[in-house]
């Protein structure tokens, strides 16, 4: 009996290894163990209905009993469901024909194959439970930020591991363009999707989602977390720039000031997390005209015409304000359109178009025809407007910028086309 008990305990200890490695609680492990025993018994004997399985969590052992009906000697038809009277009386001398007798079964006698089958059944059920636990855990965490360790970096995605060893996926399309992660680094992202195809859960994360930016604000700004300030809308070009419209339900709280923090202390943490993505925080209002005006900051609007049916708005500004409204690479006006959900068209104020003081155009307005890196070089030599460039001789421009001649000719032609008093530049080499 001592040897038998030792084997049984050894078997239970083997199952305990699964508990430690798979992080499964004791009660669930016992339930899985009972089910695994029944699966093996059912495969061996065709049914497990007449078997009782008892797992004792306190002693760390288990017992298996078989229940069979007592039949007269010589009338035994199925030894798995019946037992003869003479055999039954060896177990219980007082038993009689027609009664049911219970006998303890030594699982070790089932053989090595049965034990291997039991381990396989247990492994299969634990793996199935583990997958269900992962799916249920992350299904309820969609929209929440998670911290995970970078395990493997691939071309199209990054594989991360959470604190419990679960695998998470951060696709390249959901990464900020300037993101760069190395193995074993910690990554922060928001759960956006959980798939469970073929009982194989896959958890997808995102760092480009607007929801990620919103959750970062909730972490950094207590007033948002407490519900005193609400984020009404977000417009974002990941890694470049974002606009966030916030509203306060308490007149004593300045929502923009609270989000930015003292000397930008609160918003700087968010900017760093988003790889220096510029973030503009504006006061939300239901007044469409005022909201559009705020969304185009820092530009100052003179007048605007709103078409509610087509969700379009024509904005008129002084010439010096146009480039501010458009922004670098057109990001300001693009984000303002996304934030307000109106298509915004910018025009120079008609009453100042012919004013010699304002009859000039900032170089940023030519980004559709001139590359931004070329504009940056021109601004580097002190040329901020079209007329600043046109005031410099072609040869001098070539010497100061070190740009190729065909690039300078392209710039001059584009800029001169805006002013009738200038003749277009002719590429002499092309003419030849």
The neighbouring-strand residues paired with 306 are 313
Structure tokens at 35: 């089910």
The one-character DSSP state at 357 is T
The pTM for the full model equals: 0.65
Stretches in the chain below the pLDDT threshold 70: 1-26, 56-61, 107-111, 350-359, 419-432
From the CB of residue 39, how many other CB atoms can be counted at a distance below 10 Å? 18
User: Is the CB of residue 328 less than 8 Å from the CB of residue 299?
Assistant: no
CA–CA separation, 301 and 55 (whole Å): 78
CA distances from 316 to 127, 342, 343, 366 (A): 64, 15, 14, 18
User: Is the CB of residue 183 less than 8 Å from the CB of residue 152?
Assistant: yes
The runs of H, that is alpha helices, within 92-153 are: 112-139
For residue 417, which phi and psi values (nearest 5 degrees)? -65, -15
From the CB of residue 237, how many other CB atoms can be counted at a distance below 10 Å? 17
Strands lying side by side in the sheet with 229-237: 229-237, 241-248, 278-283
Q: Considering Cα of 346, then 347, then 349, then 355, what sign does the dihedral take?
A: positive
Predicted confidence at residue 430, as pLDDT, reads: 39
Tell me the per-residue pLDDT of 223-276, one tens digit each, with 9 for 90 and over.
999 999 999 999 999 999 999 999 998 888 999 999 998 888 899 999 999 999
CB-based contacts of 205: which residues, under 8 Å, 6+ apart? 146, 148, 160, 168, 169, 170, 174, 189, 190, 191, 192
* 275 CB-contact burial (10 Å; exposed 0-12 / middle 13-18 / buried 19+): middle
Predicted confidence at residue 335, as pLDDT, reads: 95
Predicted confidence at residue 3, as pLDDT, reads: 39
Predicted confidence at residue 4, as pLDDT, reads: 43
CB-based contacts of 152: which residues, under 8 Å, 6+ apart? 158, 159, 183
Structure tokens at 356: 């010699």
């Amino acid at each position: 009996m001592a040897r038998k008990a030792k084997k049984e305990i050894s078997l239970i200890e083997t199952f305990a290894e699964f508990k430690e490695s798979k992080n499964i609680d004791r009660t669930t492990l016992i339930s899985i163990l009972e089910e695994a025993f029944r699966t093996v018994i059912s495969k061996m004997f065709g049914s497990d209905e007449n078997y009782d399985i008892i797992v004792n969590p306190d002693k760390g052992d288990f017992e298996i009993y078989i229940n069979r009906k007592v039949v007269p000697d010589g009338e035994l038809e199925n030894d798995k469901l019946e037992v003869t009277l003479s055999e039954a009386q060896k177990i219980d001398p007082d038993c009689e024909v027609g009664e049911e007798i219970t006998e303890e079964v030594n699982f070790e006698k089932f053989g090595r194959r049965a034990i291997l089958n039991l381990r396989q059944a247990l492994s299969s059920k634990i793996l199935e439970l583990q997958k269900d636990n992962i799916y249920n855990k992350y299904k309820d965490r969609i929209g929440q930020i998670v911290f995970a360790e970078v395990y493997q970096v691939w071309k199209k995605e990054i594989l991360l591991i959470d604190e419990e060893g679960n695998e998470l996926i951060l696709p390249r399309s959901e990464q900020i363009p300037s993101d760069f992660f190395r193995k074993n680094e910690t990554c922060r992202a928001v759960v956006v999707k959980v798939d469970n195809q073929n009982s194989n859960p896959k958890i997808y994360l995102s760092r480009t989602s607007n929801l990620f930016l919103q959750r970062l604000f909730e972490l950094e700004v207590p007033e948002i977390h407490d519900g005193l300030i609400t984020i009404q809308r977000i417009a974002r070009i990941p890694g470049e720039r974002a606009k966030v419209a916030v509203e306060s339900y308490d007149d004593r709280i300045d929502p923009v000031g609270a989000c930015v923090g003292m000397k930008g202390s609160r918003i700087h943490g968010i900017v760093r997390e988003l790889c220096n993505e510029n973030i503009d925080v504006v006061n939300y209002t239901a007044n469409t005209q005022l909201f559009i005006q705020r969304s185009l900051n820092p530009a100052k609007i003179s007048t605007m015409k709103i078409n509610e049916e087509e969700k379009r708005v024509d904005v008129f500004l002084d010439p010096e304000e146009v480039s501010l409204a458009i922004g670098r690479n057109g990001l300001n006006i693009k984000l303002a359109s996304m934030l307000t959900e109106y298509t915004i068209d910018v025009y120079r104020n008609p009453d100042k178009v012919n004013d010699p003081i304002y009859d000039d155009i900032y170089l940023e307005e030519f980004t559709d025809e001139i590359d931004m890196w070329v504009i940056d070089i021109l601004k580097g030599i002190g040329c901020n407007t079209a007329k600043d460039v046109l005031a410099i001789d072609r040869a001098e421009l070539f010497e100061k910028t070190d740009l190729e001649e065909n690039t300078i000719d392209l710039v001059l032609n584009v800029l001169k086309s805006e002013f009738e008093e200038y003749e277009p530049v002719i590429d002499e080499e092309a003419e030849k």
